[in-house]
Chains A and B, each alone.
Chain A
Amino acid sequence: MSDLWDSFYQTFIFENRYLYFLEGIKFTLIISFFSIVLGLLLGIAVSIIRDYYKQTGKLFLLSKLCDIYVYVIRGTPTLLQLMILYYVVFKTSTLSPIIVGILTFGINSGAYVAEIFRAGYDGIDKGQREAAKTLGLDYLKTMVHIIFPQSLAKIFPALGNEIITLVKETSIAGYVGIIELIKAADIISSRTYDYFFPLIVAALVYLFLTFILSKVMKFGERKLNHVISS
């Protein structure tokens, strides 16, 4: 028992080491939040550009660029993307590693979000678009008021998955010197040579975060549910 207490004391209390955890949680939250927002914005924009090309044949070049973006992002490891952005693209810039992290995870997530939304649009009966067209609604109005809301309801579970994956994936940000949760745990255990508490606590924090997220998504799903029931 006193061993366990000693381990706990060394991990958290001695030299105020819990501050590392708080710092880690803070950066994990910051990176997660902003990359989710960036990923959603980017993904939705890319999905709409590709859908616009598919429906109207316009914006060919932009749509092909979007295809390449999705292909490249999905075809390479996130860690590699992070390292390329940090060590190559922004090598000479003074950009904070946090920003590079947000950019990496946001750009990465955008590709998956775009694919999720594409599946959503493609799953809508094409008669819905035809009905909108015969009422005189153009592409954008149809998208905003009919196709997007219906798709959102259908893809919400998949979107929740993607967001949870993203939060967990931010754990590799330590590679470029960001003190996020895993890095914090790593720093502490390298001082104490005791991995038990740091790793378990990191795991519990992730579990807690994803638990909250899945509750939020479930709530959203219920709100949108009447749309799916038809």
Chain B
Amino acid sequence: MLYQVKKLVKKFGKISVLKNINLEIEENEKIVIIGPSGSGKSTLLRCLNMLEKPTSGCVYYHGKVLNDKLYKSIQGKIGMVFQNYQLFDNLTVIDNLTLAPVLNKLMSKGEAINKARKYLRQIHLEDKETCYPSDLSGGQKQRVAIIRSLMVNPEVILFDEPTSALDPEMIGEVLSLIMEVSREKITMIVVTHELNFAQEFATRVIFMDNGKIVEEGTKEQMFKHPKTNRLQRFLNNIQ
């Protein structure tokens, strides 16, 4: 078991964003979290890598309580891809890719550069190596951000609406890269509004509304035979 979330509550001030979430995630699962805006999807994701601290309840990672100390010791095993890319603006593409693995001594500078170049070829951006993020399109930035998360050999990658900030014509290139990555033995948890992608990608779909997990199941169950009214309504509204 990779993740175990028990009675997770997260409040911002008086507002409860997550209300008693219970969830188990096995290694190598490909999970998609869907739900309306403000339902707590992103907050749940951010509780899985300590970007938010639970108000109460607990997140277990490999059976151990995920706290600052544990998070520090696993150094980058929980990767994340952000809605607005968050490439480091002051570094070139290659430096964005090699900074963390080299500083944390996962590999030598030379090994890191070789690995980065291999990934850059895979996403057809080998000629952008010395460009700064400001020279890239949104889709290119997000693809670089995805391979950057791979550089530190993560066990999990969390995707927080990876295509929401993109021009429509760039969404495809990012989603197909995520599909490619999903062939690796990496657990992936994706918050997205792209239901077609979810149907192709997910081994499990979680539907959240109003801070709770309303329904979860395989993609067939969720998209073809939704049990709850709330999910039926959600699917009708966006199709």
Name A's B-contacting residues (CB within 8 A).
125, 127-128, 130-138, 141, 145-146, 149-150, 153, 226-227, 229-230
CA distance in complex: A135, B145 (Å) = 11
B103 within 8 A of A: yes
CA distance in complex: A230, B89 (Å) = 7
B225 within 8 A of A: no
B86 adjacent to A127 (CB under 8 Å) = yes
Q: A136-B152, A145-B99 are in contact. Are A128 and B88 (CB under 8 A)?
A: yes
**Which bucket holds chain B's interface residue count?**
20 to 34
For A141, give the chain B residue with the smallest CB separation. Answer: B103
Shortest CB–CB separation between residue A7 and chain B, in angstroms?
54
B37-93 residues with Cβ-Cβ distance < 8 A to A are 49-51, 72, 74-80, 82, 84, 86-91
Chain B residues whose CB sits within 8 angstroms of the CB of A128 once the complex forms:
86, 88-89
A230 adjacent to B100 (CB under 8 Å) = no
B149 within 8 A of A: yes
B80 adjacent to A134 (CB under 8 Å) = yes
B104 within 8 A of A: yes
CA distance in complex: A153, B103 (Å) = 23
**Residue A137 contacts which of B51, B79, B100, B158 (CB distance < 8 angstroms)?**
B100
CA distance in complex: A145, B100 (Å) = 10
B148 adjacent to A130 (CB under 8 Å) = no
Name B's A-contacting residues (CB within 8 A).
49-51, 72, 74-80, 82, 84, 86-91, 99-100, 103-104, 132-134, 145, 148-149, 151-152, 158
Chain B residues whose CB sits within 8 angstroms of the CB of A137 once the complex forms:
76, 99-100, 103-104
A134 adjacent to B104 (CB under 8 Å) = no
CA distance in complex: A106, B168 (Å) = 54
A230 adjacent to B134 (CB under 8 Å) = yes
Q: A227-B89, A229-B134, A230-B132 are in contact. Are A136 and B80 (CB under 8 A)?
A: no
A135 adjacent to B76 (CB under 8 Å) = yes
**Residue A125 contacts which of B74, B86, B99 (CB distance < 8 angstroms)?**
B86
